[in-house]
């Protein structure tokens, strides 16, 4: 399978993201890709995943953006694709001159938690937690390495 990761730039890309979002997060509020910077993951020309970055919800010191969600369709999971999605946002943050990226995961989401550890993120406690109880908050400073191990 030939995977590629490209910026989402058109209305068609945004509607592909919403279709993927419904498949991966059927219970959650629908994503608004036009309100951030998003990437689509393609497998042999078909969209099979996405991720994005948007403005940070609170004025955390030095934090100027937050990762939104990662989605990889079943059938493509377990191939390291979420780590590719995380790294594209890290590279973007560096090139945009940001100091820090934030992210959140549910405490039961072992694959995501392991992937944040493996891409160099650290857990922190925000002054004003903005997600429900049981959320893990992550931060990554753009001066840190992109791979922990």
Ligand X SMILES: CC(C)(COP(=O)(O)OP(=O)(O)OC[C@H]1O[C@@H](n2cnc3c(N)ncnc32)[C@H](O)[C@@H]1OP(=O)(O)O)[C@@H](O)C(=O)NCCC(=O)NCCS
Cα first-last separation, the chain: 25
Minimum distance of ligand X from residue 21's CB (angstroms): 9
Cβ proximity of 15 and 46 under 8 Å: no
Binding residues for ligand X, rule: CB under 6 A, are 24, 69-72, 77-83, 105, 109-112, 114-115
Q: Which of 108, 104, 107, 147 is nearest to 129 (CA)?
A: 104
Phi-psi category of 86—alpha, beta or left, where left has phi over 0 and alpha has psi -120 to 50? alpha
Minimum distance of ligand X from residue 60's CB (angstroms): 19
Nearer to ligand X, 125 or 149 (CB): 149
Nearer to ligand X, 88 or 97 (CB): 88
Minimum distance of ligand X from residue 104's CB (angstroms): 8
Nearer to ligand X, 73 or 143 (CB): 73
């Amino acid at each position: 399978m030939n995977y590629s990761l490209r910026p989402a730039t058109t209305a068609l890309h945004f509607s592909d993201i919403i279709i993927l979002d419904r498949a991966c997060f059927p219970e959650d509020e629908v994503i608004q890709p036009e309100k951030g910077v998003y990437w689509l993951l393609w497998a042999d020309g078909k969209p099979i995943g996405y991720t994005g970055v948007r403005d940070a919800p609170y004025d955390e010191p030095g934090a100027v953006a937050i990762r939104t969600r990662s989605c990889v369709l079943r059938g493509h999971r377990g191939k390291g694709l979420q780590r590719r999605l995380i790294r594209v946002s890290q590279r973007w943050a560096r090139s945009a001159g940001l100091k820090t990226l934030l992210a959140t995961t549910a405490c039961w989401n072992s694959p995501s938690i392991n992937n944040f550890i493996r891409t160099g993120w650290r857990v922190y406690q925000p002054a004003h937690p903005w997600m429900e109880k049981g959320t893990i908050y992550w931060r990554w400073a753009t001066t840190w390495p992109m791979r922990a191990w």
